[in-house]
Amino acid sequence: MTVDTRELILRSLNAALHSKKLYPPGHPSVAAPARKTQQLLTNYIQGSERLVLAIVEDSLVFEDIPEANATEQYGDILKYLTEKKIEAIAFKGGMEDGELSSVIEILTSDEAGSTQEELDKELKDLGVIHITLQSMPVAKRSHLEVYNDAIGVVKNVMGQIRLGKIPGSEEVCAIITEMSEMVFTNTNAMVGLSMIKNYDEYLYNHSVNVSIISLALARHMKLDRKTVDTIGVAALLHDVGKTGVAEDIIKKPGGLSSEEWEKVKEHPVIGSDIAEHMKEMPEEVCRIIYEHHVRHDHSGYPRSARPLYQYSMIVTICDAYDALTTLRVYQNPHQPVDAIKILKDLSGAHFTPEIVEAFSDMIGVYPVGTMVRLTTNEIGVVTSVTPDENEHVTVKILYDADGTQLEEPLPIDISPRDNTEGPTIVGAADPLSRNVDVSAFFEKEAK
C-alpha cells in the first residue's frame, strides 16, 4: 500500500468517527466519510485477503506498520478503540453497503467496552459479516488483586444487607469463578493468601479465607467444577447472617452472656434466609450456610436432625481452621500444625473423619504459611506443598543458621521426608517470637 493510500484510509476513518459525535444520525457529514472509507478499503483489499488495523502496546498499527503520529492525526481511532477495549479491526473484501457505518455505530455507542461475545453479537445483529472486531485480552490479575476484590465483594454484600437490601448474586459468583480458577492453577499461592488475617476487619477477611480454603479442599477432593464453585460461594457467604446480629455482640471482647450467645447462634439461619432471597442462588448454598455450625454428631447449632448435606462439612472444617489460626480477642493464633491437630482430635465428634482426612492431606504436615525450623537451624516459611506421598515442600528461608535475617528470602526445596540428604523440617517455629508477620510476607509475594 502506498503511503498515500494508508494515509487516506486512516484520515477518512478518523473523520468518520469524529463526525459521528458531531452530527445527528443520517447527516451527510456522517454518512459520507464512512462511505468513502469503505470505498477506499474495498479498493485496497482487492488482491489481498484482509486488512488489519490494530492497537499494539498503545500504538496504532496498520498492516503491521506502526503509525508515528497517530495520537495527533488519528486520535479518534485510538480513542474509540481503546474505550471499547478493541484490539483490532479486520476488514475483508466484499463489504456490502453500510457495513462500515454499522461498525462506526458500534465503536461510537455510549456503552462501555464489550467482551468478544458481545462484539460478535452486535456485528451479527447489524448484519456485518466482512468486518470483525477483536476485543483486547483481559489482563491477568495478580492473586492479591483478586483477593482484595473478594474482600470488596463481601463488604458490599454485607453493606447492602445492613441497609435492608437483598444483594445480587452476580458479583459473588463472578469473584468465586475467578478465585476458583486461581485455586485450580496455583493452589499454594491462594492458600498462602488465606494467611492474611485482618484483626480489625475480621469478618471480611475470614469470609474470603474460608472460601479460598474451601475451594482448595473441594478441588483436592476432585469434585466437579460446578460443585467446587457452589461450595466457594457458600463459604464466602457463610457468615452473612452475622449482619443480623448486633455488631457490639459480634465484636465483643471476652465472654458473651447466654442471651448474647443465643443471638450469635441465629446467624446460620439468618444467613441462609438471606441467601435464599438472592437471585439464582443454588439451594445447596443456602443449605451449607444453614449447616455450617452443625457438627458431625449433630450437636452444634441450629439443632438439625436431618442428615447433613454431604459438602456442608467442607465449609465447617475450613471455617474452624481459619478461626483457629487467627488472632482473636480471646485467643492467640494457633500455628497451622496445631490447628490441624485440634481438628483431628475432634474428628468423629465435631467433624466428619473422611473430610478431616482430606483436609489434612490437602494442607500437608507443614501447611503453606507455617514458619518452620530446619535441620540446618535455618528458619523459613513454607510457601508450597505438593500433596503426594512424600510431600515436597518449598520453604523460603528468612533467617540463616546464626539467626541473621536474610535480605531476600531464599527458596529451597525440602526433599521428601524419608530422604536423609539435604535439610528437612524439624518442627514449627513461632512467628510471634521472631516478630515475623507471615501475612505481610504472603501479601508481598503475591504482588
- Residue 164 Cβ, how far from Fe ion at the closest point, in Å? 22
Our CB check for Fe ion shows the closer of 13 and 213 to be 213
- Residue 207 Cβ, how far from Fe ion at the closest point, in Å? 7
- Residue 325 Cβ, how far from Fe ion at the closest point, in Å? 13
The residue count for binding Fe ion (CB under 5 A) is 2
- Residue 241 Cβ, how far from Fe ion at the closest point, in Å? 7
Our CB check for Fe ion shows the closer of 319 and 378 to be 319
Amino acid at 188: N
Q: In the numeric block, which cell numbers belong to residue 342?
A: 485440634
Our CB check for Fe ion shows the closer of 122 and 319 to be 319
Our CB check for Fe ion shows the closer of 312 and 384 to be 312
Residue 21 backbone zone (phi > 0: left; psi -120 to 50: alpha; other: beta):
alpha
- Residue 107 Cβ, how far from Fe ion at the closest point, in Å? 48
Please give the residues from 183 up to 202 whose contact with Fe ion meets the rule CB under 5 A: none
Binder to Fe ion among 67, 319, 378, 443 (CB under 5 A)? 319
Q: Classify strands 392-399 and 379-386 as parallel, antiparallel or unpaired.
A: antiparallel
Please give the residues from 234 up to 273 whose contact with Fe ion meets the rule CB under 5 A: 239
Interacting stretch for Fe ion, rule CB under 5 A, among 73-81, 123-131, 231-239, 282-290?
A: 231-239
Contacts 24+ apart (CB under 8 A), 357-360: 358/217, 358/220, 358/221, 359/217, 359/317, 359/318, 359/321
Our CB check for Fe ion shows the closer of 19 and 207 to be 207
Interacting stretch for Fe ion, rule CB under 5 A, among 106-114, 217-225, 319-327, 402-410?
A: 319-327
| Residues forming beta bridges with residue 61, ordered by sequence position | 54, 66
- Rounded Cα–Cα distance for residues 363 and 340 (Å): 9
| Residues forming beta bridges with residue 300, ordered by sequence position | 294
Q: 406: buried, middle or exposed (CB in 10 Å: 19+, 13-18, 0-12)? A: middle
- Residue 24 Cβ, how far from Fe ion at the closest point, in Å? 58
If one asks whether residue 122 binds Fe ion (CB under 5 A), the answer comes out as: no
Counts for the chain of helices (H) and strands (E), in that order: 20, 10
Our CB check for Fe ion shows the closer of 55 and 286 to be 286
- Residue 179 Cβ, how far from Fe ion at the closest point, in Å? 17
Please give the residues from 352 up to 411 whose contact with Fe ion meets the rule CB under 5 A: none
Our CB check for Fe ion shows the closer of 122 and 239 to be 239
Sorted by sequence, the CB contacts under 8 Å of residue 349 that are 6+ apart come out as 295, 296, 297, 299
Our CB check for Fe ion shows the closer of 93 and 333 to be 333
- Rounded Cα–Cα distance for residues 441 and 423 (Å): 22
- Residue 132 Cβ, how far from Fe ion at the closest point, in Å? 49
Interacting stretch for Fe ion, rule CB under 5 A, among 10-18, 123-131, 161-169, 311-319?
A: 311-319
Sorted by sequence, the CB contacts under 8 Å of residue 114 that are 6+ apart come out as 84, 85, 122, 135
- Asked if residues 96 and 116 have their Cβ atoms less than 8 Å apart, the reply is no
Helix ranges (H only) for 87-142 are 99-108, 116-125
Kindly list the residues in this chain that would bind Fe ion in the complex (CB under 5 A).
239, 319
